[in-house]
């Protein structure tokens, strides 16, 4: 009985942490999501493909430049006696490599521009954003590791507010209410400038964030432990390769669609892909609270039971999100992607939603290789997923069109999830309730498929399906739900 109460208490602390850190993730994602209809209204599918290309390369270089150091920081900071040494070593390492990247980028600028296939002005913005964002990785990780969620959330929220405000001003206020714009802006306001303002908004936000976290640059002592760095690098580089594999799984399809089919199809695909953002928000919010939580509670007696329970509730919530989004997808599209040129790719949304749910489950399962320091195994799993993505997209997009890209994403994340589960049983066995997880997934996928294929836009049936799922969940989980809600 005492062990059960302790488990529920731990779960409640986990949910509280997830909510706090999730706010810093959910609100920015939601504000970004609000910008989707604005961007799709003012950008044609071809211009939206340029917008997508910018952020695809931003994501790739972000993973490359941080080389797994954020996760390494959590791992070593949580168990180190000399935590200042961990902070300073990670901070100095990332700062040094970022400055080296800056130098290389300046020397080989033309080669980089050809690689990313962007206008030189857009590339310079991308390059600047990458430098600024990489320099603040360790200070942000430090705020999370030392349980300072308010400051962390405040800076994250300010960052996205700046992006949001600049987008609203230049993409909506200036065209609709030119009296609020200086004459200089009106004289030089073109379609190409619209993309520039979108990218400059990110640069402005990154600059302000850098200035707010600048005090942490002077908190660290010039104390670099080469032996500690070697350990952190050994732990982190497989995570970097796993991250690159994730970028391939998430974004290679978009670049290939542009090259194999057309920029217009790539833009439509990328726009509809955004409708999966609610699932992505849920997964990201979970990860923000889960990663430090998993490390900090690894030594607890009931740690494995806690991890198993967390996955149960993750799957239940994710399955409900999947069902709601698929069942009411045509309502969401009317408000979020109003430009009908994008609707040609709507059929990808259910597949992408399920793929992201599988990815979220994989992130839960991945705790086994992080806690046992077998991050290289995580790298191998991610590389396998990337191989699935590459092979399916390259060989089949030309023959069967853009739907291949969505199914390839599902195949990649689904295979990663299954492989991680079976390896986890061997190296760090967590008693996951596979039958329960499979049950909720099956119910959600079945109801979603029936709703999308046979009862699309029949919202009475859609609501009935959602109520059926909620009713089943409450009937099966009511005891745990009541206990968690009662405990303070």
- Number of domain units in the chain: 1
Per-residue pLDDT, 327:
93
Region for residue 305 given its phi and psi (left: phi exceeds 0; alpha: psi -120 to 50; beta: otherwise): alpha
Q: pLDDT tens-digit profile of 47-62?
A: 888 888 998 899 899 9
CA distance 487 to 473: 20
Q: For 40-69, give one letter per residue: b (16+ CB within 10 A) or e.
A: bebbebebbbbbbbbbbbbbbbbbbbbbbb
The answer to whether the CB of 370 falls within 8 A of the CB of 378 is: yes
Identify the band that residue 482 occupies on the pLDDT scale cut at 50, 70 and 90. low
pLDDT over 90 (residue 343): no
Q: pLDDT tens-digit profile of 393-444?
A: 999 998 989 999 999 999 999 999 999 999 988 888 888 999 999 999 999 9
Q: What does the pLDDT average to over 6-29? A: 60
4-13, 27-36, 152-161, 347-356: lowest mean pLDDT where? Answer: 4-13
The answer to whether the CB of 242 falls within 8 A of the CB of 379 is: yes
pLDDT over 50 (residue 488): no
Q: Which secondary-structure segment (H or E) carries 458? A: none
Identify the band that residue 4 occupies on the pLDDT scale cut at 50, 70 and 90. low
Q: pLDDT tens-digit profile of 68-91?
A: 888 888 778 777 677 788 888 888
More confident residue, 271 or 8: 271
Per-residue pLDDT, 70:
83
17-31, 138-152, 301-315, 382-396: lowest mean pLDDT where? Answer: 17-31
Find, among 353, 356, 345, 296, the residue nearest to 324 by Cα: 353
Q: pLDDT tens-digit profile of 279-294?
A: 887 887 777 666 666 7
Mean pLDDT, the chain, as a whole number? 85
Both tokens of residue 59? 């994501």
Region for residue 224 given its phi and psi (left: phi exceeds 0; alpha: psi -120 to 50; beta: otherwise): beta
More confident residue, 384 or 187: 384
Question: How far is the CA of 155 from the CAs of 136, 145, 159, 160, 402, in angstroms?
Answer: 11, 16, 6, 9, 38
Query: Domain range for residue 422?
Result: 2-486
Both tokens of residue 416? 């990663």
pLDDT over 70 (residue 205): yes
Q: What does the pLDDT average to over 219-230? A: 80
For 428, phi then psi, to 5°, come to -155, 85
Q: What does the pLDDT average to over 168-190? A: 82
pLDDT over 50 (residue 352): yes
CA angle 109, 115, 120 (to 5 degrees): 50
CA distance 163 to 354: 29
Per-residue pLDDT, 290:
66
pLDDT over 90 (residue 249): no
Q: What does the pLDDT average to over 448-452? A: 94
Neighbours of 104 (CB within 10 A): 12
């Amino acid at each position: 009985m005492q062990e059960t109460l302790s488990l529920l208490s731990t779960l409640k602390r986990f949910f509280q942490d997830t909510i706090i850190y999730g706010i810093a993730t959910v609100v920015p994602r939601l504000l970004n999501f609000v910008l989707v209809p604005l961007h799709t209204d003012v950008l044609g599918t071809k211009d939206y493909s340029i917008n997508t290309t910018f952020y695809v390369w931003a994501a790739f270089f972000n993973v490359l430049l941080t080389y797994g150091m954020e996760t390494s920081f959590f791992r070593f900071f949580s168990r180190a006696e000399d935590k200042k040494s961990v902070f300073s070593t990670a901070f100095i390492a990332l700062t040094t490599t970022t400055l080296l990247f800056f130098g290389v980028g300046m020397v080989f600028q033309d080669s980089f521009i050809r690689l990313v296939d962007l206008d030189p002005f857009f590339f310079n913005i991308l390059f600047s954003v990458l430098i600024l964002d990489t320099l603040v990785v360790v200070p942000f990780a430090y705020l999370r590791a030392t349980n300072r969620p308010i400051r962390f959330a405040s800076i994250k929220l300010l960052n996205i507010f700046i992006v949001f405000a600049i987008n609203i001003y230049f993409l909506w206020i200036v065209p609709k209410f030119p009296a609020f714009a200086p004459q200089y802006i009106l004289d030089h306001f073109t379609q190409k400038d619209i993309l520039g303002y979108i990218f400059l908004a990110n640069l402005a936000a990154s600059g302000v964030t850098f200035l707010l976290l600048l005090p942490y640059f002077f908190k660290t002592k010039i104390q670099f432990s080469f032996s500690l760095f070697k350990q952190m690098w050994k732990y982190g580089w497989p995570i970097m390769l796993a991250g690159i594999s994730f970028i391939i799984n998430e974004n290679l399809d978009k670049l290939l669609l542009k090259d194999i089919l057309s920029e217009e199809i790539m833009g439509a695909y990328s726009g509809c892909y955004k409708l999966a953002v609610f699932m992505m928000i849920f997964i990201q919010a979970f990860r923000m609270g889960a990663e430090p939580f998993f490390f900090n509670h690894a030594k607890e007696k009931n740690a494995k039971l806690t991890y198993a329970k967390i996955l149960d509730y993750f799957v239940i919530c994710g399955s409900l999100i999947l069902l709601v989004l698929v069942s009411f997808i045509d309502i969401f599209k009317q408000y979020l992607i109003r430009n009908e040129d994008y609707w040609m790719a709507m059929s990808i949304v259910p597949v992408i939603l399920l793929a992201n749910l599988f990815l979220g489950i994989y992130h839960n399962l991945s705790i086994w290789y992080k806690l046992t320091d077998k991050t290289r195994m995580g790298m191998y799993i991610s590389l396998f997923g990337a191989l699935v993505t590459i092979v399916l997209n390259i060989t089949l997009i030309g023959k069967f069109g853009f739907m291949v890209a969505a199914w390839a994403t599902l195949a990649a994340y689904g295979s990663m999830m299954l492989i991680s589960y079976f390896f986890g049983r061997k190296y760090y066995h967590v008693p996951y309730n596979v039958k329960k997880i499979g049950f909720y997934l099956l119910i959600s996928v079945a109801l979603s498929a029936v709703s999308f294929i046979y009862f699309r836009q029949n919202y009475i049936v859609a609501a009935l399906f959602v109520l059926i799922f909620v009713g089943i969940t409450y009937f099966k989980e009511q005891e745990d739900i009541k206990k968690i809600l009662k405990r303070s």
